[in-house]
Structure 1
Amino acid sequence: MRLKDLGERGLLARLAPLGYPEDAPLPPGDDAGGVWVGEEAWLLKTDGFLYREVALDGMGPFAVGWRGVAATASDLLAKMARPLGFTLGLFLPPDLEEAFALELVQGAAEAARRLGAPLLGGDTNAASEVALTVSGFARTRTPLPRRALPGDLLYLAGDRWGRVGAAIRAHYQGRSLEAFPAIRQAAFYPLPRLELLALAGSLRGSLDSSDGLAETLWQLSELGVRVDLEALPLLPDVLAFAGSEAAALELVLYGGEEFEAVLVVPPEGEAQLLAQAKAVGLPLFRAGRVGEGRGVYLRGEPVPRRGYERFR
């Protein structure tokens, strides 16, 4: 079967178990993988992309390098693991200007610094176009898998929901973001949230949202549950950019690249979760709950499964 027929999700389902240890702290195919070292889980995540696929209009190499570290760190933090360091794999055309490569790495180094972890070198390769891989490692005593039970509550962490989708829409429509500085900031310099680590004891599960909220919730539903959304965060600038509530909801559900977390909370842990989030200044939005069945619904209406998927 060709990859364009199989799709990224189908390919990952076949690849993820290969060589994966049976006693790993997270199941194969989760946001990160790892091994136990004593009583701690040491997690590793690698992410990669072509420069031209992520560089929005006005985004230079510094922001793209930053974004690479953000993508990797987001997966680790969603598993309640504190990043310890990052490495880069650079693929660069021989005629590329040195200043471009320096800015790319400087952006990655600054994002890593903001996350309290160093940039530890990596590898350089000649290529026909610019591409980047980022690996990050982290550790935690409480690795948090993708997990949900009927009756659990769903919370969305952070404030980039819909904003990154708006920036991506602006890129393809040739629209200026001059009047929307928070939207531009969310897309150009997203920083995964170390504050998530304060919530570990109140959660049943957690997922990184990079593939788009709808796709992330469908992945949660694949665990054998139904996801019922009661509401979604509609930020004023996203509403203003979109022009209508329906268009804003589309950006929230299908934007992607937010590098935020979807949190699964047992009902008895809700009060503690809210207190912990308030103490560390982490924005939370209660979006809905988990039930018996399968599928994703918003106010009773099915949410189509769409999101970023390579090879298709």
Structure 2
Amino acid sequence: MNEKDIIDIISKHIKLEHDDVSFIRLNDKFLVLKCDMLVRSTDAPKEMKLWQISRKSIVATLSDMVCKGVKPIASLISLAVPNTFTRKDINSLVRGFKVAEEEFGIKIIGGDTNAADDLIIDCIMAGFADNIIRRDNAKEGDIIISTGLFGYTSIGLKILLEDASANKRLRKKALESILMPKPRIEFLNIANYVNSSMDSSDGLAATLNELSSLSKKSFMIDNIPTTEEVYEFAESNNYDPEELIFDGGEEYEIIATLPKEHIDKVKSIMPIHIIGRVEKGSGVYIKSDSRFKRLRRKGFIHLANK
């Protein structure tokens, strides 16, 4: 039984919002909430320092808020640590929280502490919004965009976990994408032009399929958001490049759809990559050579191997 199975069971008894955030209307605004749990053994490679882990816990939660067009006003942190942790370890975790506060302009106002067999950080954020960008609102004719490129986190993990070879520049870039991920806060500046959006931290294939399925539309991807060096790395290390690009996860990029007439305005505000279009139908298709083929849903799912 994996994460999605557990959520399905809960949803049979408790009505949940199936989106990146949860929200409730308060008069003329929405109160928007998000919680995200990080467990060291499953969410952080052993090369990640404690302060980078605590910083990442903020990044993951913030990315989900931002992709809905919401700027958080406050955060709570629940922290469970093993009894082997020292004062130095706790200071390192606090350093990461402080770095995130200053880097992203958020405010941690409280939380809770407890003991556990593993390091666990649960981050909660809250904010107000006039509107929520939903996953299920992609429109026929929309342009599909990405805030960044894919494949580098997969390369980073291959280097760390399988000792894959890469040149010095690519190695540095790939490892930084894993150890120091960055949420796309600038997306807030284009949120008003977007019809649908989703954080891509579970993988590009999973994100595209989720948006397509909930919107009941077909997503045609004719410009894969990656670079030639990702293909070169895959070839030299005997990996499938599509798996590196579509199935890796941990990118914290945002995939969104918006009307064609807003593209020039959005491009003047922040860099984006146009990757495809929304059409009538169902499923996600990527262009391979001169033909389109179906892109199945993969990506990272907690407890998938349990």
Same-fold call, TM cutoff 0.5? yes
1 CA distance for matches of 2:133 and 2:84? 44
Paired amino acid for 1:99: K
Mapped pair 1:256 → 2:283: no
CA distance in structure 2 between the partners assigned to 1:201 and 1:33 by the alignment: 19
Q: How many residues align?
A: 295
* Mapping for residues 200-211 of structure 1, pairs under 5 Å: 200-211=191-202
Question: AA paired with 2:279?
Answer: G
Match of 1:163 in 2: 152
Structure 2 unaligned runs (5+)? Answer: none
**Structure 1 match to 2:38:** 49
For the structure 1 residues 236 and 301, does the alpha-carbon distance in structure 2 shift closer, same or farther, using more than 3 Å as the test? closer
CA shift for structure 1 position 71: 0.2
Judge conservation of contact 2:63–2:185 (CA < 8 Å) in 1. Answer: no
Separation of aligned partners in 1, 2:70 and 2:222: 29
> 1:148: which partner in 2?
138
Question: Residues 72-151 of structure 1 correspond to what in structure 2 (within 5 A)?
Answer: 72-146=61-135, 147-151=137-141
Which residue number in structure 1 is paired with residue 273 of structure 2? 285
Residue matched to 1:280: none
Residue 203 of structure 1 deviates from its aligned partner by: 0.8
In 2, Cα distance between equivalents of 1:29 and 1:14 = 13
Q: After superposition, what is the alpha-carbon deviation per residue over 1:117-173, rounded to whole angstroms, capped at 9, x for unaligned?
A: 1122311111112111111112222321112122211000134x2111211222220
Query: What is the DSSP-based 3-state SS (H/G/I as helix, E as strand, rest coil) of the residue aligned with 2:25?
Result: strand
TM-aligned CA distance change 1:108 to 1:158, over 3 Å:
farther
Deviation, structure 1 residue 43? 0.9
Counterpart among 182, 201, 208 of residue 217 in structure 1? 208
Partner of 2:181: 190
CA offset digits 1:178-222 (Å, max 9, x no partner): 542222222111121221111022111111111101001111121
For 1:176 and 1:125, the matched residues in 2 are separated by: 40
Q: How far apart, in 1, do the equivalents of 2:198 and 2:51 lie? A: 27
Query: Are 1:268 and 2:261 an aligned pair?
Result: yes
Residues 10 and 150 of structure 1: is their aligned pair in 2 closer, same or farther, counting only changes over 3 Å?
farther
Give the structure 2 partner of residue 306 of structure 1: 298
Q: How far apart are the structure 1 equivalents of 2:165 and 2:58?
A: 26
Distance 1:221 1:13 in 2: 19
**CA shift for structure 1 position 49:** 2.4
Percentage of identical aligned residues:
26
In structure 2, the partner of 1:24 is none
Is residue 209–residue 261 contact of structure 1 (8 Å, CA) maintained in 2?
Answer: yes
TM-score between both structures, scaled by the size of structure 2: 0.89
SS of aligned partner of 2:84: coil
TM-score (norm 1): 0.87
